[in-house]
Amino acid sequence: MSGQSVSINHIGFLTPGNYPDCDPLSGFEKTLQLLAYGEELGFDSAWVRQRHLEPGISSATAFLAAATQRTTRIGLGTAVIPIGYESHYRLAEDLATVDVLSRGRLNVGLSAGRPLHAELIGPLAFDGDWEKYDFSHDRMLRFADNLRGHYLGDDSTFITTPFGPQRPRLQPYAKGLVDRIWYGAGSLRSAGWAGANGFNLLIGNVTTGEETDDFFVAQSRQLETYKVAARGRGRVALGRVIVPLDSADPRTRRRYLDYAAGRVERTLTPQGERRTLFARDVVGTADEILERLFADPILPHVGELRLELPYEFQDEEYRQIIHDFITLVAPELGGPHGESEEKQTA
């Protein structure tokens, strides 16, 4: 099977970081171990979702700070932090700290706009009338500017510290982190904005239908809009829900297939007022998955692929999925993947 039109040079995976409501520590520990296992398998990056009010990772910065001490090579990413709930200055301090701890391996995925559950979290997170709060893209621009490490004030501005007078700027300064900001875009407007402002682009299996009911048409338009606006700058990472069956036992295979079948209906028509479009999950043997991926019209136009793990599965299932993907699927996608450290040293 040939993938001549596909050349993927970076492969990552995205995990939901689930845990039992009564035992978050066990879930955090399993997710940390999953990231370390992904590094052993040879993945280029591992990303975690940030979710509020759910039994998942609500603070990607705190979690990834721990992950920096469990891994040494693999890139670490947030997908995505809703910046509307954050102080753009304090968030920059926290993420710069994580990047320094990781020795420059952090990728910062962000989203703008009114964040999910604002009607519940808004009164808790903000003082005054939270509905008048600034949820615009401008918050991302201010966040990025903080990461650039410019000194505050003019040349004569100094602060008094135990170390003597210091020129004030955000600390720590994480060189290069500003170039590893990713925007999770789902519309033509947001894709164009991300490209014009020099951010990398995250696209996945959910998008907004604009003058089309076809998921791939909508996403290809967003990708083209981004590339035109970016003028040759920036990286694009494509996410797809991919579940290999190869080494799963019969019962688990049936569970995977039933899961995918239960999500087909949402892919048939636009959903909700925003006309949200969903791609079908890619579930099957490695050969079947490769056939689907080579038929994906977006894949030939990107160099980075992110395996998105489903929310509902268990730790041992996630391990089987990422193992099968990196060993059976990734080597056929045109990049130097699929050899674990164990194989390399054998």
Give me the pLDDT at residue 3, please.
Answer: 42
For residue 335, pLDDT beyond 90:
no
- Model confidence over 201-233: pLDDT tens digits? 999 999 999 989 999 999 999 999 999 999 999
Give me the pLDDT at residue 342, please.
Answer: 41
Strands (E), 37-127: 45-48, 75-82, 106-111
- Specify the higher pLDDT residue, 132 or 199: 199
- Model confidence over 226-274: pLDDT tens digits? 999 999 999 999 999 999 999 999 999 999 999 999 999 999 999 988 8
Give me the pLDDT at residue 186, please.
Answer: 86
Tell me what the mean pLDDT of segment 14-41 comes to.
97
Give me the pLDDT at residue 273, please.
Answer: 86
**This prediction's pTM:** 0.93
Nearest-angstrom CA–CA distance, 109 and 239: 13
For residue 1, pLDDT beyond 80:
no
Average pLDDT, the chain: 93
Sign of CA dihedral 52, 187, 78, 308: positive
Nearest-angstrom CA–CA distance, 39 and 20: 25
Give me the pLDDT at residue 39, please.
Answer: 98
In contact, 142 and 88? CB cutoff 8 Å: yes
Nearest-angstrom CA–CA distance, 94 and 101: 11
Give me the pLDDT at residue 224, please.
Answer: 97
Which helix or strand (DSSP H or E) is residue 276 part of?
Answer: strand 276-278
For residue 278, pLDDT beyond 70:
yes
Give me the pLDDT at residue 62, please.
Answer: 98
Nearest to 203 by CA among 134, 88, 215, 214: 215
Class of domain 10-332: alpha beta
- Model confidence over 63-101: pLDDT tens digits? 999 999 999 999 999 999 999 999 999 999 999 999 999
Domain map of the chain by residue range?
A: 10-332
Tell me what the mean pLDDT of segment 25-44 comes to.
98
Nearest-angstrom CA–CA distance, 54 and 51: 6
